[in-house]
Structure 1
């Protein structure tokens, strides 16, 4: 039974979607992506290379007088910026490919994740499904003892870094029955729940309900402040090296999900092995919720009319 605790008390009839068509795509295209887009994805590389050469030559002629606030070197800084741009453009390319008619089912999965966020993002302040299993862990490689291997655990943590346990459990509990009804394999079930939980946690280019790397951001700021303190106080080489190591680790840990998550998000959709079953599970779940939402709005109108 839907109630106000689902965050739907302010929704109206206009919030009920009539289709799962991709947003901002009034008509699906049957044409492949333009050839120029291949160049568009890497155009920033020569720009960063030239900027780096100019910057490094300038520093060779005019050395810094003030100490640096970060232990990162110029190649690392420009390298991270270049990787971020490439991942962003590649993510955009993968998204555009979803708008082709031949990729209709995968496009429907992407749009379902956005619709799921719209319906449920107000729900996630407190965990409500402590007994649910995390379906994003289905299909992970396991050893003879049945436990997930160390490599599998590391890869899973890297892939789900933009989600929270709450988001994953919420999406798992909502989709579990429909995944089973459609006989979706473990790999695709994990991917479907991951992209839904990822969208649910970040809002996808909107203000995030949660930022899993939020703590890392503050760690990066703290280690930068500590580095500045070591420069002025001169505590010794070992302490300075330790602070530099912590700062570099925090910056890389923060930049990795920030720069690459969009690419990983859409790349995962392309990794779905049976998109027809995945989108059928999404449609089944959507229909159940839309029907429940309609009943909720009807009851709301009846209560308003009786007052």
Structure 2
């Protein structure tokens, strides 16, 4: 008794330590690790989702490699389902069942393979048509009517064997009531019913459970704090980006204002240049009329300048 209690105590302690260690390591599990575990257990749809999350957070080449492997396994399962459906249409339930089982073993998330395996296992396709009525009544939940139909078929066809799916309808005789026995007296205090090692085991397990709960609470609190810090950092980044946008908009407004001022000044200079050109032309006409000495050469020079200015305008 003491040796068994000691071994039970050691087993409980090891299990509790493993549980706490697993709880401590939960935060460090990556998507690639989770995807590999799901892939190993043939849950390919969930494994593919984990690898997609790993690719989204850029965990490395494991995401792409895992996705390629899972896609290959899923294609293999689909080929097995196609073979099973072809065998089922051809009236070969044995080959169909094997193919469905192969597909489901490769991909546990393949609903078509699971449904076909259940259909061929619970309701075999090779059942004789004489049992179709009884099978339908049993499937609909009419056990008494199905049992009566089975009896009628056996009377009409004594050589027929009841299918396995209908054998559950067989009545079993009720068990004979055991002789009434006197209630056992409770064990004496301090006897083998409850000993102090049992109490110690309960206390140790409860202590380990408390430690596990405490560690889980700490992990949850750290996760909450990290989420809050990330939210604050994102809010601060958003504020900085908004201020930068306002500054850029202000600089654009200033540049537009300066450009407008330069354009206005340039327009004024052009108007002043035109006014000066008109005055020079007036002087040229006056010089021509007065016939002053040296007038023609100056007239040609000023005329060419005013013509260039008019062409530029």
TM-score tier (shorter): under 0.3
Q: Which has the higher helix share?
A: 2
TM-score calculated relative to the size of structure 1 = 0.21
Higher Cα Rg, which structure: 2
Report the TM-score when normalising by structure 2. 0.20
Higher relative contact order, chain-length normalized (CA < 8 Å, sep 6+) = 1
